[in-house]
Every structure is written in structure tokens, then in C-alpha cells.
Structure 1
């Protein structure tokens, strides 16, 4: 089954007072190009997320966005050491009274907060970090899954389009085969006239005659090109139906299809066939354009 390189998936997971929203967007690109927009607290996990995106999404321009929101009350990382600050306040007030100096309560508190060890830094909770990271992983994995499903659905649409394009080229090839039957007598008549002119000439050259004959046969015969084109069209559909179908392989086959179409156009020397060739080229360009968006 084909997968498009265009996709989108988002997911929100809540756990342990944390809500994580992950969004994954993908566009077509020749290679895998990953850009992550994530909170600084998980910047050390970017390599792990990149590995997950590489494994699941394979190819394309990938954008990952993470948004975190706390859903419960949280404590600040730094708190006031209240017993010590209270001791500082009492000591400062007593000192001011003994020196007959007047200070407002706010001035005393401000001085107390500037004293050593007035603040306490809470110990780092590694278990909370592990829980938060598990929530992030779950959200990212779900967003990737939805993006991949989007790609599969878009790939199914592309597969139908490819089948339509190939069918049109096949129909035009059938028209060429029908026209070729009418073209051959005209070619034969031109060859007969050329041969007659050579035979009637006083300077008739047997070697030149054989060269001219081979030239006309090679120039106007498109039998091999028609067979090869039919085989390439069949092979394209065969590959399209496999699990291994990918944009690069389909593009290679389309190049072979184009080579045979161009040769038919250059050798046929027939206005009707040229029109069919133009229509085939038009459909082939659509195929080549779409294969650029297939993984």
C-alpha cells in the first residue's frame, strides 16, 4: 500500500496533573528532515524523539510540536525559609529598638529576606520527571500513529489516481496500435517509391540501397517500443499493488515509460500518433509529479 508524505496527527494525553499535546506534520521532501519544537525541560530527550520519528515516518519533512500544561496546583521550586526569616525579623526589630531607630515592618521584612539562607530550594523529584516524560512519549506516539494513518489514507487516493493515469496511457497505446495498422501501408508506399527511384537510377548502388532499406525499417518500425511500453505499464501496476511500493521505484518505472513514449513519437512520423503521444506525456507528467509525494 502506498503512503503519502503529506500527513497530520495530533493527540492530547493527561496524567499526573500534566496535559501534553503533541502535533506531527509531514510534507514531501527528498530526504528525512526533522524539526522539533519542544519545552526546554525535555531538550535532552530530542534525540530519542528523533529516533522514534525516523523509525515510524521514514521520509519527508517532519515537524513535531509539544505543548505542556499543568492541570493541578504546583509548588514553586524555591520557597521562603519562614522560621529563619522570622528570627531575622525579630533580631532586626530588637536591634533597631536598641539603637532608637524606626523601621517599618515592610523594611524589616525586606532586610530579613536578604539574609543568608532565607530561601530553600526543594529537592529535585526525579520520579515526577519520569512520569512527565512517559506522558510526553504517549502523546507523541499517538500523534505519530494518527499522522501515519493520514498518510495511508492519502496514499490510497494516490494509488487510485495512478491507476487512472496508467489506464489512460494504456488506452492511448491501444489507439496507437490501431493507427499503426493504417500507418504501415503509407510507410510501405513511401518505401516502394524510394526503391523505385533507386532502381531506375543510372547510378544505382546496391550497398546504398540496402542502407536506405535498413534506415527506413529502423526509423519507422515501433513494434518493439509498443511491446516495451506495454510491459512497463503492466510492471508499474504490479509494483503499485505490492507492500514494497515506494515513490522512488515508481518514479524509475515512469522514466522508462517516458523513454518508450518519446521513441514512439519520434519514429512514428504520423500526425494522429503524435496526438496520442502528447496525451500520454500529459498523463505521465501527472504520474511523475505525484510520485514525488510518495514515501
Structure 2
């Protein structure tokens, strides 16, 4: 099965005093890159979260977000009188210096300023973390299912592109004998146009064979066929094959480039250009394969 690195999962942990919505988003990346946005109370568990996500997601740019909604009315918060008094004095001083009127509704402004409201230090208990871990794992299951769905579509695209290259490669066969004869005739015509030039026909035949062998593309064609077969085999070998597929695509590119440089035939070169286009699309898709 082929997995994409693109995925999304969401789960909710329902607790007595709060509701925590956990979201995991993943995109393609060369390695495991985790970015977390979680409240400070859960920071002590970040290493455990990282370990869990790296084992199950392996690779990708991963965003983990905890959105906490307090649902209990029993919130132990207090007004910090000292901070509020400082804000009040500073605002009055600024209003006087800038010659602007003081606010009419002081409390609506002051109570929204940072650190005016302070809460008693909250501690993470085991039951709460167990509920959060369960929600994280549920979100991870959704991400993996999403990745599999996306990976199936990627696999179909890649198989189509590989088959397109195979068909284009087959289209070069009819031009092979024509190409060799055209080169041979061109050289012979060039020699016949030279006046008063005598040459050793046996040596000419030997040089002609050597030259044509240098232009032979059967070896490149066979290697490219093998690379196409190996690409499909690797694609079906299981997940986490993205990097390996990238290496195979590079080898495919080398053979296609050599075909183009050796072809010396306009129709074949047009086919090579189409093969390169299909290969570039394969490389783009591989970037998102796990």
C-alpha cells in the first residue's frame, strides 16, 4: 500500500471541566518535523507525544494543536490588584500627557489587559492525560486513514505515468532500423560527393560498425524497462518507499537523457521529450509519497 504524507485528523477529549479539541495536520517533508501548539500544562508530555507521532507518522511536516475550552463555571481565578493598579496609573498618566480623555468604562478595559486575571496553578492528573492520549490516538488513526486514501490516488497516478513512459519507449522501436540506415546513407553520400578520394572500403565498414554501435540504444532501452519494472515493484512493496522511488526516478531520467543524446532522429527526440515530461510529473508526485 502507498501512503501520502498529506493527512488530517481531529478528535475531542471530553473532561469534567474542559473540552480539548486535538487536530493533527501533515504535509510532505524530507524528515519528521513536528510543530506543537499546546498549553503549558501539557508541555511536560511533549517528548512522549513526539515519540508517539514519529512512530506512527514516520515522516512529514506535522502540526499538532490542542484547543482547550473551559466548560466548568467553577474557575478559580482572581484579580491581581497590584497589576490592575499599575495599569490604571499608567493609562491616567498617558491620557494626561497626550491630552486625551480618560476611559469612561475602566473595568471593561483593565480586565482585558494581560496578567490582570490570575488563575491558581493547575496540575495535570493521570486521568486527564489518559483521556488526552486516547484522543490523540484517535486523531492519528484519522490521519493514517486519510494518508492511505491519498496514497491510493497517488499510486494510480504513478502507475499511469510509468505505463505512459513504457508505451512511449515502445514507440521508438520502429525508428531504430530507419535511424541506422539514414545515418549510414548520409555518411556514404558524403563520401561519394568527395572527388578524387579513394578509401579502404573494409576500413570504412569497420568504422561504420563502430560508429553505429556508439549510437545503439538497446542497452539504454533495456535498462529503462528494468527501472520501470523496479519502480512498480517498489511501489507495491509497502509504505515508506518515497525516498527509494525518488532514487529510481533519477536512474530513469539518466537513461531517458542518454536515449535523447544518442537518438539523432527528430521523431525519436520528440518521443524522448514526452518521456521527460511524464518523468517530471512522476517526480512531483513522489515528493508527497511517504
TM-score normalized with structure 1 length: 0.76
Larger Rg: 1
Give the drift of 1:188.
3.3
Q: Which residue of structure 1 lines up, in the alignment, with residue 171 of structure 2?
A: 175
Give the drift of 1:25.
0.6
Give the drift of 1:236.
0.9
Q: Equivalences for 1:101-112 in 2 at 5 Å?
A: none
Mapped partners of 2:40, 2:156: distance in 1:
44
SS of residue in 1 equivalent to 2:289:
coil
Q: Equivalences for 1:153-232 in 2 at 5 Å?
A: 153-193=149-189, 201-202=197-198, 209=204, 212-213=207-208, 215-232=210-227
Give the drift of 1:202.
4.4
User: Is contact 1:239–1:245 with CA below 8 Å preserved after alignment?
Assistant: no
User: Is contact 1:12–1:20 with CA below 8 Å preserved after alignment?
Assistant: yes
User: Is contact 2:23–2:139 with CA below 8 Å preserved after alignment?
Assistant: yes
Q: Which residue of structure 2 lines up, in the alignment, with residue 14 of structure 1?
A: 14
- Matched residues, number: 249
Q: Deviations over 1:31-54 (max 9, x none)?
A: 111011101111111111111111
**Pair 272,203 (structure 1): closer, same or farther in 2 beyond 3 Å:** closer
Give the drift of 1:11.
0.8
Mapped partners of 2:193, 2:222: distance in 1:
34
SS of residue in 1 equivalent to 2:29:
coil
Mapped partners of 1:177, 1:68: distance in 2:
65
**Pair 237,10 (structure 1): closer, same or farther in 2 beyond 3 Å:** same
Q: Which residue of structure 1 lines up, in the alignment, with residue 86 of structure 2?
A: none
Q: Which residue of structure 2 lines up, in the alignment, with residue 262 of structure 1?
A: 257
SS of residue in 2 equivalent to 1:74:
coil
Give the drift of 1:77.
7.6
Mapped partners of 2:253, 2:139: distance in 1:
39
Mapped partners of 2:234, 2:191: distance in 1:
47
Give the drift of 1:194.
6.4
Structure 2 gap segments, 5+ residues each: 79-118
Q: Does 1:147 align with 2:147?
A: no
Mapped partners of 1:161, 1:20: distance in 2:
38
Give the drift of 1:3.
1.0
Q: Equivalences for 1:39-118 in 2 at 5 Å?
A: 39-74=39-74, 76=76
**Pair 206,178 (structure 1): closer, same or farther in 2 beyond 3 Å:** closer
Mapped partners of 1:245, 1:237: distance in 2:
14
Q: Deviations over 1:106-160 (max 9, x none)?
A: xxxxxxxxxxxxxxx99x997x711111111111111111111111111111000
When structure 1 is superposed on structure 2, of 147-156 and 186-195 the one drifting more is 186-195
Q: CA RMSD in A?
A: 2.7
Structure 1 gap segments, 5+ residues each: 79-120
Q: Which residue of structure 2 lines up, in the alignment, with residue 93 of structure 1?
A: none
2:245 to 239, 246, 250: 250
User: Is contact 2:38–2:65 with CA below 8 Å preserved after alignment?
Assistant: yes
Q: Which residue of structure 2 lines up, in the alignment, with residue 279 of structure 1?
A: 274
Give the drift of 1:176.
0.7
Q: Which residue of structure 2 lines up, in the alignment, with residue 292 of structure 1?
A: 287
